[in-house]
């Protein structure tokens, strides 16, 4: 690597560290006031870009999530650093807002900013924003979205636009999605650095990506694979396929192991070059109430609403992402899962019960049965737990 570029890397690294510290400061300040989900991830990556020797990189990320009844805010800061050759820092803030008028609709929007110094793709920064509309049913959903990004690299500015449409379906522990996206960009340097084209032929180029994703989930554990077929629609001669595999293994409430391997295609929106990447990292979840990763059934709570005719309505609310499979069952249903509906940010079960003592369990993605967090907990004799409640 040239000396000038190394200086650039040093400056880029300093900017990256500043961006990360800023993300940490913002997230920790918010943490002190609210009861969020906070995660810290640290690990290792091996990055192999076309035309360069593979490099080892250090990964560090802070993730913060705060849900309310009407919206959820996600923020994160990421730092990737490889001593003299690669550094990047990224901050993201995103909202997920369910519609009041229709429980099946949810709007996601957000913005991301990055500072980087990349081999073969210069140093600089990137800003992007996205808007995505979801339609969510119990076992399937669809979305349509748009996004725009600007990248400044070695004082040269580029812009990119994208649109995507997709759908997903879920069956027990399996989840699959298919999507089509189109990206228009004039960031030729990114495409050149990815080795996907020899020289610019027009002011901009347009890419079309077909992507299939399959995931298998077991409780908090997750294994996913994606296949992407990319071709250029205009301005370039690109035809490439990419496969990537990701896995998460949760040891306990606070500690999770994450690994991934595969090809990351260039992303003009975020200014990321194409590379083969292998990562391994550990995630530590902490905070006043650790609620790791939207997948813990313990974020369920149960309420009893007395009925005039006696007994009560049991209302169980499980706040998780709509792609997570949730089952709620109890001795009153002979442990058969109860009908569940999506309301806002949560899956909700309602059932009328006469006076008596009952046990109930909730599980996510066929994981262990757990008690709603606000009920008394008892062991269930089968390695799980149940929530216990008495209706007057």
Partner 1 sequence: MNMHRRVITLVALALASVSPAPAFAQGPVVLRIADAKTRVVVEREIARAAARGLPLQPLIAKAMEGVTKQATGERIQVAVSLLAKRLEQARVLLAPSTSVAELTSGADALAIGVPGTMLKQIRAAWPVERSVAMPLDVLTELVARRIPAQHALEQITALMARGATPSQIASLGSSVQADVAAGLAPDAALDVRARGVMSLLPSPAAAAASAPSGRRQP
Judged by beta carbon, residue 53 or residue 381, the one nearer partner 1 is 381
How far is Cα 27 from Cα 195, in angstroms, rounded to an integer?
Answer: 37
Least CB distance to partner 1 at residue 388 (A) = 5
Least CB distance to partner 1 at residue 350 (A) = 17
Least CB distance to partner 1 at residue 295 (A) = 19
How far is Cα 251 from Cα 350, in angstroms, rounded to an integer?
Answer: 32
List Cβ neighbours of 232 (8 Å cut-off, separation of 6 or more): 197, 205, 206, 207, 208, 238, 239
Give the β-pairing of 140-153 and 174-185.
unpaired
How far is Cα 17 from Cα 89, in angstroms, rounded to an integer?
Answer: 7
Judged by beta carbon, residue 212 or residue 378, the one nearer partner 1 is 378
Least CB distance to partner 1 at residue 70 (A) = 21
Whole-Å CA distances, 148 to 264, 299, 312, 325, 392: 19, 34, 50, 32, 56
Point out which residues bind partner 1 (CB under 8 A): 304, 329, 331, 334-336, 355-357, 361, 369, 374-384, 388-392
Question: DSSP string of 79-132?
Answer: EEEETTTEEEEEEEEEEEEE-SS-TTEEEEEEEEEEEEEETTTEEEEEEEEEEE
Phi, psi for 27 (deg, rounded to 5): -65, -40
CA-based nearest residue to 168, from 207, 138, 140, 202: 140
The dihedral formed by the CA atoms of 67, 112, 283 and 223, expressed in degrees to the nearest 10? 90
Judged by beta carbon, residue 211 or residue 386, the one nearer partner 1 is 386
Least CB distance to partner 1 at residue 331 (A) = 6
Least CB distance to partner 1 at residue 218 (A) = 12
Tokens for 252?
């306990």
Judged by beta carbon, residue 171 or residue 382, the one nearer partner 1 is 382
Least CB distance to partner 1 at residue 375 (A) = 7
CA-based nearest residue to 172, from 341, 335, 369, 363: 363
Judged by beta carbon, residue 137 or residue 307, the one nearer partner 1 is 307
Judged by beta carbon, residue 60 or residue 314, the one nearer partner 1 is 314
Judged by beta carbon, residue 98 or residue 367, the one nearer partner 1 is 367
| Bridge partner residues of 305 (DSSP) | 313
Judged by beta carbon, residue 270 or residue 363, the one nearer partner 1 is 363
Least CB distance to partner 1 at residue 303 (A) = 9
């Amino acid at each position: 690597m040239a000396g000038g570029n190394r200086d650039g890397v040093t400056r880029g690294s300093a900017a990256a560290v500043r961006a990360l510290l800023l993300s940490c400061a913002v997230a920790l300040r918010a943490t002190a006031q609210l009861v969020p989900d906070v995660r810290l991830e640290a690990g290792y990556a091996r990055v192999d870009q076309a035309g360069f020797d593979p490099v080892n990189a250090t990964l560090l990320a802070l993730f913060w999530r705060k849900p309310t009844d009407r919206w959820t805010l996600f923020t994160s800061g990421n730092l990737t650093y490889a001593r003299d050759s690669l550094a990047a820092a990224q901050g993201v803030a995103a909202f997920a807002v369910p519609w009041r008028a229709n429980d099946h609709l949810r709007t996601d929007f957000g913005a991301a900013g990055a500072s980087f110094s990349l081999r073969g793709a210069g140093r600089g920064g990137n800003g992007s924003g996205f808007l995505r509309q979801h339609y969510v049913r119990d076992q399937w959903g669809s979305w349509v979205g748009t996004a725009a990004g600007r990248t400044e690299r070695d004082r040269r500015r580029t812009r990119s636009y994208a649109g995507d449409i997709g759908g997903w379906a879920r069956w027990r522990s399996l989840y699959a999605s298919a999507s089509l996206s189109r990206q228009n960009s004039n960031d030729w340097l990114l495409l050149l650095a990815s080795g996907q084209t020899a020289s610019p032929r027009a002011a901009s180029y347009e890419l079309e990506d077909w992507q299939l994703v399959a995931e298998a989930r077991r409780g908090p554990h997750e294994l996913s694979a994606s296949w992407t077929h990319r071709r250029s629609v205009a301005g370039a001669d690109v035809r490439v396929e990419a496969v990537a595999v990701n896995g998460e293994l949760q040891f306990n409430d606070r500690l999770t192991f994450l690994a991934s391997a595969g090809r990351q295609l260039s992303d003009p929106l975020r200014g990321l070059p194409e590379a083969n990447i292998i990562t391994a990292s550990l995630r530590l979840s902490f905070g006043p109430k650790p609620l790791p990763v939207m997948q813990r059934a313990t974020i369920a709570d149960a309420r009893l609403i007395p009925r005039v005719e006696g007994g009560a309505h049991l209302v169980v609310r499980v706040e998780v992402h709509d792609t997570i499979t949730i089952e709620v069952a109890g001795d009153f249903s002979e442990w058969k899962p109860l009908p569940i509906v999506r309301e806002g940010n949560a899956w909700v079960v309602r059932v009328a019960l006469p006076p008596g003592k009952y046990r109930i369990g909730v599980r996510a993605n066929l994981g262990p049965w757990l008690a709603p967090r606000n009920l008394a907990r008892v062991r269930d004799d089968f390695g799980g737990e149940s929530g216990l409640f008495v209706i007057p």
